[in-house]
Structure 1
Amino acid sequence: MCGRYAAAKDPATLAAEFDALDATEEHAPAKDYNVAPTKDVVAVVQRHPRDEEGNADPSTTVRSLRVMRWGLIPAWAKDRSIGSRMINARAEKAATTSAFRTSVAKRRCLVPADGWYEWRRDGKVKQPFFMTRPDGHSIAMAGLWTVWRDPSVEDAPPVVSAAVLTTDAIGPLADIHDRMPLLMTPDQWAAWLDPDAEDVADLLATPPSLDLVESLELRPVSTKVNSVRNNGPELLERDEEKADLTLFDNPS
């Protein structure tokens, strides 16, 4: 977890929801109901603005929406392929892992989602679920980001990439999968995004709000989502044949 999610809100809606400026410009990805690794995604960051010479203004910060590649490519990587294996970072280890520790200290973000998918195995069958908020608000997944340049190309353009932090699943989510995104509630956003706060150990160790987790709809959906080639709002529809599925019946 998290390996797929849905992100169908336009940047203007997200900017209002996260009190951020829209800096995605013409690069904003289209509505995506089956976001998969290596795709471009929207993330929320908070940084000190820079002048034309690149000097940061330490007296203020700006929160903005940015486009990033899902799958963090560490600055030391020889090529971008490693990013496809770094879509997630374990919250328990990220601060001491070479690929993520600098980002934990200096480059944190939020990854907005309409909801995420997870698969529960029942014997030989893997049933997909869509975890979403019934009130329509976005889910804010804690993330990390960094900048990478291809060392084999002179004056290579920067590639901005991100990973989603995960933690032990709690509440009803634990019956579907043992991991879940590290979810941030609005009262945590400012502290998590603060570019001057290098010690965020408490936020990394704090379990997601149980009230938020218990309020989520855990919706069984069609196995069409299994294929990244399928992409449309129908993927979010409840699978009526599975509507009576009981989460607590002998998961395996």
Structure 2
Amino acid sequence: MCGRFANQQESVAAWDEYFDVPMPISVREEIVLGYNIAPTQMIPVLTADSLNGNDGRKWLAARWGMIGPWVKDASDISSKFATFNARSETVSEKATFRGAWSAGRRCVVPAIGYYEWQKTENGKQPYFVKNCDASAPLFFGGLYEPARDDIPASCTIITVPASDTMTQLHHRMPLVFGTEIVVDSWLDTESFDGHLNTLSWHAVDKAVNNTRNQGISLIT
């Protein structure tokens, strides 16, 4: 699964250049950037819609944790349901996700890596997972619901069975991309060629367990 990840302020300019889609100031002001991003926070997602310019691409600020289409009022939004991940095997069936899936509301979530925990004799040990090529970008495949009335846009990150190399850490992993070509394929909704397997991980300090903790020391 993917319940915590990292991005950083310095990455925004790189994302703008990489996709040639500037992130609006309104989105920048709404999102959370840092080394300990958690569900329910507002995060940047790149969407593709034929009504948008830039080949349909558009940045949105979206709540991490999909808000079901039946929610009619912001006061009804609940964080007790784990909708920040959607299993690839059932995403087309679950009521929370199937509308976005069938409508092709795909998105990508930019990151520099994510955290995974492993049970040990001394409690859960956090690990930071990143691209083997430290200079290469990392993006998660997801789905989103647009904003409506007083309900914010929301998103989920899709998870898949772990690759052979990642099974040592966890039996599942996020749908991860490392090149613009594969991102294009995902956003296209007509085709998809697979996800990135060249990931590496290392143990990090348990300070990451507390979402109030931030800083680059969490990933080193």
In structure 2, distance between residues paired with 1:158 and 1:48: 23
Look up the match of 1:191: 185
Q: 2:88 aligns with which of 87, 91, 95?
A: 91
**Superposed CA offset, 1:37-60 (max 9, x none):** 10010111111236xxxxxx9xx8
1:115 equivalent in structure 2: 113
Distance in 1 between residues matched to 2:206 and 2:138, nearest whole Å:
22
TM superposition shift of 1:62: 2.5
Matched, 1:104 2:124: no
Which residue of the partner structure matches residue 221 of structure 1?
A: 204
TM (normalized to structure 2)?
0.86
Give yes or no for the alignment of 1:36 onto 2:38: yes
Structure 1 unaligned regions, length at least 5: 51-56, 150-155, 238-252
Answer with 217-226 or 28-37: which moved more. Answer: 28-37
1:31-86 C-alpha deviation (Å, 9 max, x unpaired): 31000010010111111236xxxxxx9xx833122211100001113521157520
- Residue 217 of structure 2 aligns to a residue whose secondary structure is helix
Measure, in 2, the Cα distance between the counterparts of 1:209 and 1:236.
20
Task: Note if contact 1:108-1:193 (Cα within 8 Å) is conserved in structure 2.
Answer: yes
- Give the Cα separation in 2 of the matches to 1:48 and 1:98: 25
Structural RMSD (CA): 2.3
Query: Amino acid of the residue matched to residue 127 of structure 1?
Result: Q
Q: Aligned with 2:128: secondary structure?
A: strand
Deviates more, 1:76-85 or 1:14-23: 76-85
Identity %: 30
Q: Give 1:98 shift.
A: 1.4
The alpha-carbon deviation at position 29 of structure 1 amounts to 2.7
Distance 1:158 1:226 in 2: 29
Question: Any residues of structure 2 matched to 1:1-252 within 5 Å, and which?
Answer: 1-8=1-8, 9-25=10-26, 26-49=28-51, 61-77=55-71, 79-82=76-79, 85-105=82-102, 106-133=104-131, 134-147=133-146, 149=148, 156-186=149-179, 187-194=181-188, 197=189, 203=192, 208-210=195-197, 212=198, 216-237=199-220
1:2 Cα deviation (Å)? 0.3
TM-superposed deviation, 1:235: 0.5
**CA deviation map 1:210-230 (0-9, x unaligned):** 3x2xxx231110000011111
Deviates more, 1:185-194 or 1:2-11: 185-194
Residues 161/73 of structure 1: CA separation in 2 closer, same or farther (3 Å cut): same
Distance 1:145 1:135, change over 3 A: same
Q: Secondary structure at the match of 1:224?
A: helix
- Alpha-carbon shift at residue 172 of structure 1 (Å): 2.5
| Aligned counterparts of 1:113 and 1:132: Cα–Cα separation in 2 | 9
Q: Is the 8 A contact 2:33 2:43 kept in 1?
A: no
Whole-Å Cα distance in 2 between the matches of residues 83 and 164 of structure 1? Answer: 17
Instruction: Determine helix, strand or coil for the equivalent of 1:12.
Output: helix
CA contact (8 A) 1:120 1:177 kept: yes
- SS of structure 2 residue aligned to 1:129: strand
Give the TM-score, by structure 1 length.
0.76
Cα distance 1:191–1:35, how it changes in 2: closer, same or farther (>3 A)? same
Say if 1:63 and 1:143 are closer, same or farther in 2 by CA, change over 3 A.
Answer: same
Say how many residue pairs are matched.
212
Amino acid at match of 2:195: P
Larger-gyration structure (1/2): 1
| Per-residue deviation, residues 184-204 of structure 1 (Å, max 9, x unmatched) | 24222223212xx4x66xx4x
Structure 2: where are the runs of 5+ without partners? none
